[in-house]
Amino acid sequence: MNEIIRNIKTRRSVRKFSAKPVEDNILNEIITAGLYAPSAMNTQLWQITVIKNEDMLVRLQKAVAKALDRPDYHRFYNCPVFIIVTVPEDYRHGAVDTACVLQNMFLAAHSLGVGSVWINQLRDCYDNREVRELLTEAGIPENHICFGCAAIGYPDCELPSDRENKGVVKFF
Ligand SMILES: Cc1cc2nc3c(=O)[nH]c(=O)nc-3n(C[C@H](O)[C@H](O)[C@H](O)COP(=O)(O)O)c2cc1C
């Protein structure tokens, strides 16, 4: 098995992170991998917003918890880096382009020994007033919407070794 295939097959979602910061050069590699994702007609309309500021992460956690009426909502699994991918609201390929960006980053992170997991909750509350104010403060354009985010950091857990694949594959 080549290294790329091995990396794809061994990546797992990580939901427990160590406090160790992700070094800038490693983080840049991960973000750059996201920028190399395919996009419909090569539009590359995404914005990748990287949040490491603890105060902002806690305020975002609280705003999401309130917006979704989930008082116990976690601080994005206490990840040291939270990445928000946004796209213009009138761009019809935004969801799929976002998924390509996130998966590129997940795989790049895994290849560098860094853990990651998709975080979906902003999708359901990005236009809540308090959440939107924080997104604006973080530099996200008002006309951008969010289909997915990533929690990134060094794993503080073992990755499950294998998984059952339930998707259907047919050859004709
Ligand atoms: C669209 C999408 C939304 C997801 N949302 C969340 C989420 O909000 N929180 C979470 O812990 N995992 C989330 N996940 C991760 C999935 O639970 C995970 O990929 C799946 O269980 C398979 O496990 P694996 O990533 O370890 O292979 C999401 C994944 C996708 C593709």
In a domain, 139, yes or no: yes
Q: Distance between CA 152 and CA 118 in Å, rounded?
A: 9
In the chain, what percentage of residues exceed pLDDT 90? 96
**Mean pLDDT over each residue of the chain, to the nearest integer:** 97
Establish if 169 belongs to a structural domain: no
Domain that holds residue 23: 3-153
> What is the C-alpha separation between 110 and 115, in angstroms, rounded?
6
| Ligand 1 pocket, residue 12 CB under 6 Å | yes
User: In angstroms, what is the span from residue 35 Cα to ligand 1's centroid?
Assistant: 21
Domain count, the chain: 1
Q: What is the CATH number of the domain that holds 69?
A: 3.40.109.10
85 lies in a domain? yes
> Which residues does 62 contact at the CB level (< 8 Å), separation at least 6?
none
User: What are the tens digits of pLDDT across the range 94-153?
Assistant: 999 999 999 999 999 999 999 999 999 999 999 999 999 999 999 999 999 999 999 999
- Cα–Cα distances (Å) from 23 to 78, 81, 85, 113, in that order, read 17, 11, 20, 12
The answer to whether residue 160 sits within a structural domain is: no
Q: Is residue 17 part of a domain?
A: yes
For 58-80, the pLDDT digits (tens) are 999 999 999 999 999 999 999 99
Q: Which amino acid is at 75?
A: R
Backbone angles phi, psi at 98, to 5 degrees: -60, -45
pLDDT of residue 5: 95
Pocket test for ligand 1, best of 9, 13, 157 (most atoms within 8 A of CB): 13
Residue 167 resides in a domain: no
